[in-house]
Structure 1
Amino acid sequence: MGSLTSLMDIAQQSLIADQNALNITSNNVANQNTPGYTREVVSWQPDDAVTLNGQTFYEGITSSAVSQRDRVLDQRVQQQTQVQAQSQALDGALQQVENIFGLSSSSTSAGTTALGTAIDSFFNSFSSLAANPTDTATRQSVLDAANTLASNFNSASNQISQIATGLSQQVSGIVGQVNSLTAAIASLNQQIGSVSPNSDAGSLEDQRQQAINQLSQLVGLDQISTESNGITLTTSNGAVLVDGGKSFALGTTDAAGATDVVSSATGADITAGLTGGQLGGVLEARDQQIPAYQSSLDNLAYAIGTQVNSQNVLGLDENGVAGAALFTLSATATGAASAIAVSTTDPSKIAAAASTEGAAGNSNAQALADLASATLVGGSTADGFYSGLLGQIGNDASAATTDNSAQQATLTQLTTQRDSLSGVSLDEEAANLTTYQRSYEAAAKVFTIVDQVMADALNLGEQTTVS
């Protein structure tokens, strides 16, 4: 009877273990489309063993769920997510800059843009004035062309500033999302440390990993595994975000009109060293790329304005009076594109004649027209410098788009590799379901047979009411 009782216990444990395996499989199927879910497999372990006369007998079997996660592969996906998110954010910002100048993948010609056309029209208007220096309509055309040029400089500069302002607003929004996720990760660290400090915590780790993946899309991270199955997270430049069950929020501060990022742990401005994620791409565009474009635009506006002003004061206007500055400019090149404006509305103030000519002369108008082919800025003509600026913007935008496509392809490859291990395959789960069901039926059959044998033994082979 003792052996039969043991056999019945073993059958009972097998039934429990098989039922647990069926539950694990059902859970996998139910969570096939759950974001961040990691497939679980059944781990079978023999129960306590008993040794009699040199032979070891196992008392049954138990089953448990083990998540199929590769921590190294998970971190590779996180790191690539950070790189891809940064390249995507940079690509988006540079496409906005391209749109300001009317650039496209098929055209980066200065002559096809509004500002390029305005520059050409402005200098061409002086050629027309040289041909007919006393014509009021021609003089008015020069003023109109000057106003159009100034307006295009103002518009381009203001739009670039608006992009920079929008990027600063994104910084504030991203910081808020980062703080929400780091608080959630710290809370999950606490739960995991309490529930499963020395082994996989199943769904809690799935939730934490999903939160870290989302955080990787926002900011560059370094991750360190700690005791009690915890994780410490820092930014790419070492500012602590999560340490065990504690989170350290990021803050923002205004720095010369831009939004910078501050670590609450140290109070230091950490903007300069932040890379990775959307925040890294936004900061790269705002603090590196856009200031360079704005500076070039300012230099061009300042060079054209100062050279035209210098030449205009050398001549005589229609009234025989020495010419004055045609443009109002800032004191230095900084901010020149947004500040440039035409200083007069009187067409007679244009100094078409040289100081040695009468008021009807045209030598100074020709000298003003010749500025189109003169070296004005950066060792180039105005058109040449502007073409170089457009080429730089176009090249940078194209490179960002190409890089983003490459980074996305790499991320897709790594994600596919991870999912082949951690993702749920319905075909595999169907096969497992059949296997565990047959095992359950076999254990149930053993249980039934042992029950019948025990009944027969108790009844000494006689047909009675005992069953």
Structure 2
Amino acid sequence: MSALEANPSDTATRQKVLTAATALAGAFNSASSQLSKISTSLNQQVSGDVSQINSLTSSIASLNSKIASTSPNGDAGSLEDQRQEDIDQLSQLVGLDQISTSQNGISLTTSGGAVLVSGDQSFQVSTTQVAGNTDVLAGDPPQDVTSNLSGGDLGGALQARDQYLPTYSAALDNLAFSLGTAVNQQNELGVDSSGNPGLAIFSLPGSATGSAATIAVSATSPGAVAAASAGEGSSGNGNATTLADLSTTNVVGTQTATGFLASFLDQVGSDASSVTTENATQQTTLTQLTTHRNSLSSVSSDEEASNLTQYQRSYQAASQVFSIVDTLMASAINLGEQTTVA
């Protein structure tokens, strides 16, 4: 708002402030919408993963039955190889615990304990809608096991959806509400171009929740920008100066708006870096174990493959959010400039 400080009576300058405010509100709306789209995509991924899990567990149970009828005198090598391929694919979808049983059978549970395969039986998992999210059911009777699932593409999708995205969404809501409230309160302390007390620039909900999705500019004309302070006349710039100072004022707790965004970017970057590091570690371990497994059948690389896939899915979500927040920061900085520079 620096330009307004230098030209408080100029209608075009006031309009630029409203235009910048509209762009900022739009950036918040867009960021919220993009987070929702990421969540929707992750929910679709959960449904797709569940379908693939059921297909693979059915195949593994069928192969268990065929291997049992072939053993101990027949050669079940090709069947066992096919079963291992299915288990490898399954481990990329969800974290597994594997138990060898009689007649060369294999039982599988999720790392959280839900039974997927026992002998020649497979136990289907299903999905249900809970508060707009696709959750996972397992067992008889079916129970929600979403919070107990980890590893693989499914675990990564759930981690991104249930841990990262709510944190990021709450941060955006907090910023939109805090910044919008600060601008509104300061504008209401000033005088508009007609000499009347200023009104709110932004429309906001009653609390931070949902603010990023719903924030909008409520001012309808350039004259609504209260550049003057009370008592100095409508052509003054006292309130414009204070509005401009909001760019360096702690309006989000103990942080400025841009400082908060910078911290937010740091957090998203840290999340992405963390999963990248874990990804690299698991990739190295997976390569080593896969090499060993060619000669040592007792060595399993399934857990490492599962973890690797989980980290890749989580990284994809974090990297998308980083780009969203970076765009939002540019809009916030532009609003400050329109109130400060001539």
What TM-score results when the alignment is normalised by the length of structure 1?
0.62
Overall identity of the aligned pairs, in %: 60
**Counterpart amino acid of 2:245?**
D
User: Residue in 2 aligned with 1:322?
Assistant: 197
Q: 1:226 to 1:404 in 2, by over 3 A?
A: same
Kept after mapping to 2: 8 A contact 1:239/1:265: no
1:420 Cα deviation from its structure 2 partner: 4.0
User: Residue in 2 aligned with 1:332?
Assistant: 207
User: Residue in 2 aligned with 1:229?
Assistant: 104
**Counterpart amino acid of 1:143?**
L
Q: Paired residue for 1:360, among 221, 224, 235?
A: 235
User: Residue in 2 aligned with 1:303?
Assistant: 178
Q: Are 2:6 and 1:137 equivalent residues in the alignment?
A: no
Bigger mean CA deviation after superposition, 268-277 or 369-378: 369-378
Kept after mapping to 2: 8 A contact 1:186/1:246: yes
Q: Determine the C-alpha separation between the residues in 2 that align with 1:362 and 1:292.
A: 39
Deviation string for 1:239-265 (max 9, x for gaps)?
Answer: 111111111111011111111111143
Q: Paired residue for 2:277, among 402, 409, 415?
A: 402
Aligned to 2:169, the other structure's residue is in SS state helix
Q: Determine the C-alpha separation between the residues in 2 that align with 1:378 and 1:181.
A: 50
Aligned to 1:260, the other structure's residue is in SS state strand
- Count of residue pairs brought into register by the alignment: 297
1:143 Cα deviation from its structure 2 partner: 0.5
Larger gyration radius, structure 1 or structure 2: 1
What TM-score results when the alignment is normalised by the length of structure 2?
0.83
Aligned to 1:325, the other structure's residue is in SS state coil
Q: 1:199 to 1:225 in 2, by over 3 A?
A: farther
Q: 1:266 to 1:199 in 2, by over 3 A?
A: farther
Aligned to 2:63, the other structure's residue is in SS state helix
Q: Are 2:209 and 1:369 equivalent residues in the alignment?
A: no
Deviation string for 1:32-65 (max 9, x for gaps)?
Answer: xxxxxxxxxxxxxxxxxxxxxxxxxxxxxxxxxx
User: Residue in 1 aligned with 2:136?
Assistant: 261
User: Residue in 2 aligned with 1:381?
Assistant: 256
Runs of 4+ in 1 over 6 A off after TM superposition: none
Q: Determine the C-alpha separation between the residues in 1 that align with 2:173 and 2:75.
A: 58
Q: Are 2:138 and 1:251 equivalent residues in the alignment?
A: no
Matches within 5 A, 1:106-117: none
Q: Determine the C-alpha separation between the residues in 1 that align with 2:74 and 2:13.
A: 85
Aligned to 1:311, the other structure's residue is in SS state helix
Aligned to 2:198, the other structure's residue is in SS state coil
**Counterpart amino acid of 2:287?**
T
Q: 1:199 to 1:285 in 2, by over 3 A?
A: farther
Q: Are 2:59 and 1:184 equivalent residues in the alignment?
A: yes
Aligned to 2:194, the other structure's residue is in SS state coil
Matches within 5 A, 1:392-431: 392-421=267-296
**Counterpart amino acid of 1:248?**
F
Q: Paired residue for 2:114, among 216, 239, 242?
A: 239
User: Residue in 2 aligned with 1:168?
Assistant: 43
Q: Determine the C-alpha separation between the residues in 2 that align with 1:291 and 1:185.
A: 36
Kept after mapping to 2: 8 A contact 1:222/1:233: yes
1:378 Cα deviation from its structure 2 partner: 3.3
User: Residue in 2 aligned with 1:274?
Assistant: 149
Residue ranges of structure 2 left out of the alignment (5+ in a row):
298-342
User: Residue in 2 aligned with 1:342?
Assistant: 217
Kept after mapping to 2: 8 A contact 1:329/1:339: yes
Aligned to 1:366, the other structure's residue is in SS state helix
Deviation string for 1:218-248 (max 9, x for gaps)?
Answer: 1111111222322211111111111111111
Q: 1:248 to 1:421 in 2, by over 3 A?
A: closer
1:127 Cα deviation from its structure 2 partner: 2.0
1:199 Cα deviation from its structure 2 partner: 8.5
**Counterpart amino acid of 1:154?**
N
Q: Paired residue for 1:216, among 67, 76, 91?
A: 91
Kept after mapping to 2: 8 A contact 1:253/1:260: yes
**RMSD, matched Cα:** 1.5
1:215 Cα deviation from its structure 2 partner: 0.5
Deviation string for 1:100-150 (max 9, x for gaps)?
Answer: xxxxxxxxxxxxxxxxxxxxxxxxxx2221222111011001001101111
Q: Paired residue for 1:201, among 70, 76, 91?
A: 76
Q: 1:266 to 1:237 in 2, by over 3 A?
A: farther
Q: 1:233 to 1:200 in 2, by over 3 A?
A: farther
User: Residue in 2 aligned with 1:103?
Assistant: none
1:192 Cα deviation from its structure 2 partner: 1.5
Q: Determine the C-alpha separation between the residues in 2 that align with 1:203 and 1:146.
A: 66
Deviation string for 1:435-460 (max 9, x for gaps)?
Answer: xxxxxxxxxxxxxxxxxxxxxxxxxx
**Counterpart amino acid of 2:204?**
L
Q: Determine the C-alpha separation between the residues in 2 that align with 1:168 and 1:200.
A: 42
Aligned to 1:262, the other structure's residue is in SS state strand
Q: Are 2:194 and 1:291 equivalent residues in the alignment?
A: no
Q: Determine the C-alpha separation between the residues in 1 that align with 2:54 and 2:19.
A: 53
